[in-house]
Amino acid sequence: MVAQKLRVGIAGLGRMGKRHAINFHELTARANVVAASTPDHNEREWAAENLQGVQIFQDYDEMLEKADLEAVVIASITAVHAEQALKAIKKGLHVLCEKPLSIDVEVAQSVVSAYEQSLKTYPQQKVMCAFSRRFDASYREAHARVEKGEFGSPVLFRSQTADLYDSSGFFVEYAKTSGGIFVDCSIHDIDLMLWFLGENRKIKSLQAVGVCAVHPGLEASNDRDNAIATVEFEGGKIAALYCSRMMAAGQEDTSEIICEKGSVRVNLQVRKNHVEIHDSHGARRELPQHYYERFREAFITEAYEFTACCLDNIPPPISLQSSVKAVSIGQALQRSLISGEKIYFDGRAIKN
Amino acid sequence: MVAQKLRVGIAGLGRMGKRHAINFHELTARANVVAASTPDHNEREWAAENLQGVQIFQDYDEMLEKADLEAVVIASITAVHAEQALKAIKKGLHVLCEKPLSIDVEVAQSVVSAYEQSLKTYPQQKVMCAFSRRFDASYREAHARVEKGEFGSPVLFRSQTADLYDSSGFFVEYAKTSGGIFVDCSIHDIDLMLWFLGENRKIKSLQAVGVCAVHPGLEASNDRDNAIATVEFEGGKIAALYCSRMMAAGQEDTSEIICEKGSVRVNLQVRKNHVEIHDSHGARRELPQHYYERFREAFITEAYEFTACCLDNIPPPISLQSSVKAVSIGQALQRSLISGEKIYFDGRAIKN
Amino acid sequence: MVAQKLRVGIAGLGRMGKRHAINFHELTARANVVAASTPDHNEREWAAENLQGVQIFQDYDEMLEKADLEAVVIASITAVHAEQALKAIKKGLHVLCEKPLSIDVEVAQSVVSAYEQSLKTYPQQKVMCAFSRRFDASYREAHARVEKGEFGSPVLFRSQTADLYDSSGFFVEYAKTSGGIFVDCSIHDIDLMLWFLGENRKIKSLQAVGVCAVHPGLEASNDRDNAIATVEFEGGKIAALYCSRMMAAGQEDTSEIICEKGSVRVNLQVRKNHVEIHDSHGARRELPQHYYERFREAFITEAYEFTACCLDNIPPPISLQSSVKAVSIGQALQRSLISGEKIYFDGRAIKN
Amino acid sequence: MVAQKLRVGIAGLGRMGKRHAINFHELTARANVVAASTPDHNEREWAAENLQGVQIFQDYDEMLEKADLEAVVIASITAVHAEQALKAIKKGLHVLCEKPLSIDVEVAQSVVSAYEQSLKTYPQQKVMCAFSRRFDASYREAHARVEKGEFGSPVLFRSQTADLYDSSGFFVEYAKTSGGIFVDCSIHDIDLMLWFLGENRKIKSLQAVGVCAVHPGLEASNDRDNAIATVEFEGGKIAALYCSRMMAAGQEDTSEIICEKGSVRVNLQVRKNHVEIHDSHGARRELPQHYYERFREAFITEAYEFTACCLDNIPPPISLQSSVKAVSIGQALQRSLISGEKIYFDGRAIKN
């Protein structure tokens, strides 16, 4: 008897789409990429060359209609995430959607509702937002240790996403549709914050300040290139976030969970690999240059585990509702960043 | 010709006073401790044994009157710092005063005024608040590199003072008079923040949140054992602070200065010394157990440089006004911590 | 047109065989494991469960005869490596053989001769010994930097293979057939030494000393559990090696290449992942517990690149002759370790 | 009652002499430098300016005769160490002599004999060789942990002294009288080796190889700029040493003590201070540029403890005999380095 392989379609073959396609196609034994869709001609050419035996579509709807799919991986532009997810959900397909579901919380929430509705018809359907850091081995070890109570209760979650400086103007262009640095960059830290401090934990207040230090063009989109925030939860937990588009040495994505009796930190000593050099610049090591260099293994694990949860009918590793909550917190932080106001919650303002 | 040695009196011989006494007495070649005063009997006994050839007084005023002093080092309890400083200033003595001058900003400011007045009579008089971290070799290297513009303009200053957990109830007792965690602990980070971002830079807003995680008794003194803050300066600078009384492994005092083209960090990889152990607990190193273990060398340098500035009539390494500003910021953060309100400045509320 | 996949057979499904089987079967897109052979009943059961669609044989010869193979991966016990390799070579199959080819240099050399002979008939045939560390990203970066001359000429190569202490008696049992600690453990360091200092560089002398510190039973097999060696090459290069079976914290495989104008080191700060913990044991991190935890990625890359060199007819990344030279150096070190004699070479004693 | 201060004379005011003079004069509360001697005119001028109240002599003998000394610190050129020590010993003075006592073992041994003889007349006399690293806080912690048996018995001692590359020709000039790299550089590692593995432990064999990589002029003095050695002790202990004059980034003096159940390492992650920089060269830190930058604190502790052992009549922290043994091992290693021969001991060849 030959084990069934999950029949996957990839929507979008940009930077992330290509990676998901390769990961599912070549490195996920239990999955078969059978189709991919992209409106971009060059991306379809890339697929023809690199995705052997895969049907290529120009149109997402056509792929859904014609390809024999069990699951879709949505890696298109953010603007169509929700729409594509909704269509796939309605057909009963499993969905792995790149983050964020939407930069509009209402829209994001509508995907959750559609999924909840759909589960009545397709009780084994899995829909999950792709928060890759939850699949990183180091974050998982940190989380397991904290969950086990190794250090007592967590008190402070401190985390940052800090991108390498890019002089091409990319960040300014990108800010026009990204939803802002807290929705785009910090969304990962926010997701981790919920994972470590509790997805159902209510927020009491949050606040952010920031500057445009090296990308003045961001002002026009109500965005900043460096920002810091504090978040206050009920139950005696606090969080401090930092996001930046200005790092000189590489990607510096770090987290600390400070608990009553100890702390665990992930990647505080940022490094690309096991190499260290001693020369006239001192003792030095290189940093990863972008998030994928840091998190490639996590993406592969994500593909593997999403596939397993679909095939084996086990719960998705990340709850869809928490992904909407993350967007909602990101947006509130972005509002505070721009308005300068601290935001207090009475339990309604933010979806707690 | 024999070079003159600075004739120093030490006020207070508690934990810090003893250290200052030994540092000036034994390790500062150009200073002579000629007198010391303390109301505490045991401390006077310690002095009789350990401070050879030094006149010991029970009363500070008597010491000022009878001993042949050029300078005093004030290491008494915080409550009398200002009063003792004022008396010494009036006599034209040089003063090195432990931080803070006072937990009351008005009182602290009155010391500055008295000093300014006194300079008309004693133009060579030096009065300085003992912010020891400014004398730490690593902080100095960091500051020199930033000042030199090695990394472009500083954007974010991030710093923490985090004490080892103490189960004796000391912190709760201490909180009754300390002025709060931001005035007591973070005062060093605030002083460094002013040093790195500019002592004359105006603050736009600040905000803090915190919790009582392991010392619930602090609530009664309107204090917390873990707190985080953000500070927003004019001119596009921001700062993030963390203070804690809960560390499991030791004293974790760290700072980062993130600039446009690079960053410099001090003590991020906290360590006591050059020892590393590999055993069944993994690869590990110990941390300093308290601030003096980390900063002992800085205190010795402080003694040395304060002496030099008195004898050679060169400007004190730290401006007295900036020390008052640090207290004022610390108090504002403490207010925000307790009230939950973000505080905005129009240039008057805080002494900018 | 569907791209051809390399049809691979796996010989031996012990600890390493299982890993190679999974790596080629699931993580090497251009390879298909079509057959596997093992005399062990349990291993065949494992295969039936885990190697879907793969023909399972009890007998290696039968697999060679009946399965439609292009390549074999030999992961059997060392004693049959050479024999199995010779049979596959004669059939014109590509061969990836676990190290060492043989602990007998003459036998190992006979495999090289057979391969050289076979190339006349099968000019595209690839035969390679599996020195996995050459595929590790960090070693590769180090090697590329040295090759590029970034630090001038290499002078000293220093390297160690140090295994976690095992209290089960495994090392004592294993020593009966392993060829000794320099042939078994240090063979990787020796291979890297040749890679970094030059595979054709002649050795002038070598020497080793060692002890049985924690596994006294090794004496009976003329082996040791800790040993250090020096190797002197012509052309002004030296090397220092250390091997151990006694580490308390984990696998500590480290290397340094000290060049005229700088040095590059791999894994000197041994770590399992990006997690660091601060608790009552200090600041600490865990180490990998065995070599596969450290080098898993390198094994996957090895599978990928061996497959590519077979399919694309490009030269194997490691020369077979250098693998024999490594065994020959390992044996000479082991002789010196036991005899206590320094060994000098006139160009014949060791296959230089 | 005023406590007695040790009356110290400094012989030699070169680089090391100046440091000892300042350390004893300014930073050792219980010592008074009362005299100093040096044949060098510039050094005497330096003393006139920097050693206030100290009698300056051109001639060592005259200083011994005329100054009222209790102790001498010998920091002259190595060639006169033994002679000056002998003269002071005969006068009953305490002696702290810079290493090595002599590069001639017989001469060094004659100092030990003279001291043993002198003790009959002056039973409280202290004579000690200045092996500063034994006073380093990190080495002390490592030694205390090993002594306490925290990791079981030590098995391997691995240590290196590696100097920053110097392009001035200094090392070549210096090699003419230094006794060779093992006597000059490695003497510290050898001293530590004896300290950690046992000063009375007998050596079975030793062996060294080396090269002239960047200072070809060393050949003329039978010296090398990079060398590695192995030492085999009775009782199942081994040691590996490395010495170099070629480091690109700074002084790299590191040691590891690998024991049965754990290991302790000193300074493996070489660093100048607590600063780390992230910029376009990666994440980096600086190294100390010379041994004094690394060991300054140890020299001050040495001055303090030598003074205390003289005043309080407690045993010197380092046995004089072990210092001679260190020279003897250094010389044997240097002989092996040049001859290429492994040296075996029957208990007579080396002073065990």
Q: Which residue has the tokens 């065949």?
A: C44
Rounded CA gap, C94 and B180, in Å? 73
Closest to A2 (Cα-Cα) out of C53, C250, C3, C287: C53
- Position D2 confidence tier, pLDDT thresholds 50, 70, 90: low
Which chain B residues touch D277 with a CB distance below 8 Å? Answer: 145, 262-265
Would you call B237 an interface residue with chain A, using a CB distance cutoff of 8 Å? yes
Would you call B271 an interface residue with chain C, using a CB distance cutoff of 8 Å? yes
Written as one letter, the residue type at C62 is E
C126-137 pLDDT, tens digit each: 999 999 999 999
- Position A245 confidence tier, pLDDT thresholds 50, 70, 90: very high
Do D273 and B138 lie within an 8 Å CB cutoff? yes
Task: State residue A350's pLDDT score.
Answer: 52
Name the stretches of chain C with pLDDT < 70: 1-3, 346-352
Q: Region D296-314: what's the mean pLDDT?
A: 97
Do C138 and A26 lie within an 8 Å CB cutoff? no
Rounded CA gap, D278 and A288, in Å? 12
D4-39 pLDDT, tens digit each: 899 999 999 999 999 999 999 999 999 999 999 999
Would you call C263 an interface residue with chain D, using a CB distance cutoff of 8 Å? yes
Would you call A263 an interface residue with chain B, using a CB distance cutoff of 8 Å? yes
Q: Region B8-27: what's the mean pLDDT?
A: 97
Closest to A55 (Cα-Cα) out of A22, A30, A26, A33: A33
Residue A351 confidence (pLDDT) above 50:
no
Task: State residue D4's pLDDT score.
Answer: 86
Residue A348 confidence (pLDDT) above 50:
no
Do D238 and C341 lie within an 8 Å CB cutoff? no
Whole-number percent of chain A with pLDDT over 90: 96
Phi-psi region of A273 (alpha: psi -120 to 50; beta: other; left: phi over 0): beta
Task: State residue C350's pLDDT score.
Answer: 52
How far away is chain D from the Cα of B140, in angstroms, using its nearest Cα? 10
Residue A180 confidence (pLDDT) above 50:
yes
Q: Region A171-200: what's the mean pLDDT?
A: 95
Rounded CA gap, C124 and C113, in Å? 16
Do A3 and C52 lie within an 8 Å CB cutoff? yes
Task: State residue C2's pLDDT score.
Answer: 54
Query: Residue A98: how many CA atoms within 13 Å on its side-chain side?
Result: 24
Residue D351 confidence (pLDDT) above 60:
no
> Which of D281, D289, D293, D294 to substitute to test the interface with A, most A CBs within 10 Å?
D281
> Which of D280, D284, D294 to substitute to test the interface with A, most A CBs within 10 Å?
D284
- For C250, the closest chain D residue by CA position comes to D262
Task: State residue D349's pLDDT score.
Answer: 47
Task: State residue C276's pLDDT score.
Answer: 98
Tokens at B199, concatenated: 């002592």
Task: State residue B349's pLDDT score.
Answer: 47
Would you call B201 an interface residue with chain C, using a CB distance cutoff of 8 Å? no
Closest to B214 (Cα-Cα) out of B200, B201, B225: B225
B207-264 pLDDT, tens digit each: 999 999 999 999 999 999 999 999 999 999 999 999 999 999 999 999 999 999 999 9
> Which of B244, B284, B285 to substitute to test the interface with C, most C CBs within 10 Å?
B284
Q: Region A322-338: what's the mean pLDDT?
A: 96
Taking each helix axis from N to C end, the angle separating B187-197 and B137-147, rounded to the nearest 10 degrees, works out to: 30
Do B248 and C278 lie within an 8 Å CB cutoff? yes
D201-242 pLDDT, tens digit each: 999 999 999 999 999 999 999 999 999 999 999 999 999 999
Rounded CA gap, D116 and A6, in Å? 86
Q: What is the ipTM of this complex?
A: 0.94
Compute the count of residue pairs across chains B and D with CB atoms less than 8 Å apart.
Answer: 81
Q: What are phi and psi of A261, to 5 degrees?
A: -125, 20
Closest to A127 (Cα-Cα) out of A181, A90, A152: A90
Task: State residue B346's pLDDT score.
Answer: 66
Would you call B274 an interface residue with chain C, using a CB distance cutoff of 8 Å? no
DSSP-assigned letters across all residues of D108-130: HHHHHHHHHHHHHH-TT--EEEE
CA-derived radius of gyration, chain B: 20
Q: CA-based diameter of chain C, in Å?
A: 66
How far away is chain D from the Cα of C238, in angstroms, using its nearest Cα? 7
Task: State residue A4's pLDDT score.
Answer: 86
How far away is chain A from the Cα of D237, in angstroms, using its nearest Cα? 30
- Please name the member of A279, A283, A287 whose beta carbon is closest to the beta carbon of D285: A283
pTM for the structure as a whole:
0.95
D63-109 pLDDT, tens digit each: 999 999 999 999 999 999 999 999 999 999 999 999 999 999 999 99
Rounded CA gap, B165 and B244, in Å? 9
How far away is chain C from the Cα of D211, in angstroms, using its nearest Cα? 6
- For B22, the closest chain D residue by CA position comes to D29
Would you call B123 an interface residue with chain C, using a CB distance cutoff of 8 Å? no
Residue D1 confidence (pLDDT) above 80:
no
When comparing pLDDT for B97 and A347, which is higher?
Answer: B97
| Beta-carbon contacts of residue D281 (< 8 Å; ≥ 6 apart) | A249, A281, A282, A284
Which chain B residues touch D274 with a CB distance below 8 Å? Answer: 136, 138, 266-267
Which chain D residues touch A267 with a CB distance below 8 Å? Answer: none
Task: State residue A133's pLDDT score.
Answer: 97
- In the DSSP assignment, the letter for residue D165 is P
Written as one letter, the residue type at A26 is E
Rounded CA gap, A63 and A67, in Å? 5
Which chain C residues touch D263 with a CB distance below 8 Å? Answer: 247-249
> Which of D159, D164, D203, D230 to substitute to test the interface with C, most C CBs within 10 Å?
D230
Burial of C167 (0-12, 13-18, 19+ CB in 10 A): exposed
Would you call C269 an interface residue with chain B, using a CB distance cutoff of 8 Å? yes
- Please name the member of C270, C279, C280 whose beta carbon is closest to the beta carbon of B283: C270
Task: State residue C346's pLDDT score.
Answer: 66
Task: State residue C4's pLDDT score.
Answer: 86
Would you call A5 an interface residue with chain D, using a CB distance cutoff of 8 Å? no
What is the 3-state secondary structure of chain B? CCCCCEEEEEECCCHHHHHHHHHHHHCCCCEEEEEEECCCHHHHHHHHHHCCCCEEECCHHHHHHHCCCCEEEECCCHHHHHHHHHHHHHCCCEEEEECCCCCCHHHHHHHHHHHHHHHHHCCCCCEEEECHHHHCHHHHHHHHHHHCCECECEEEEEEEEEEECCCCCHHHHHHHHHCCHHHHCCHHHHHHHHHHHCCCCCEEEEEEEEECCCCHHHHHHCCCCEEEEEEEECCCEEEEEEEEEEECCCCCCEEEEEECCEEEEECCCCCCCCEEEEECCEEEECCCCCHHHHHHHHHHHHHHHHHHHHHHCCCCCCCHHHHHHHHHHHHHHHHHHHHCCCEECCCCCCCC
Q: CA-based diameter of chain A, in Å?
A: 66
Do D269 and A283 lie within an 8 Å CB cutoff? yes
Cα distance between the two ends of chain D: 47
Which chain A residues touch D278 with a CB distance below 8 Å? Answer: 247-249, 252, 270, 287
**What dihedral angle (degrees, nearest 10) is formed by the CA atoms of A36, A39, A41, A45?**
0
- In the DSSP assignment, the letter for residue C43 is H
CA distances in angstroms from C64 to C15, C43, C81, listed in the order given: 22, 18, 15
Do C277 and A267 lie within an 8 Å CB cutoff? no
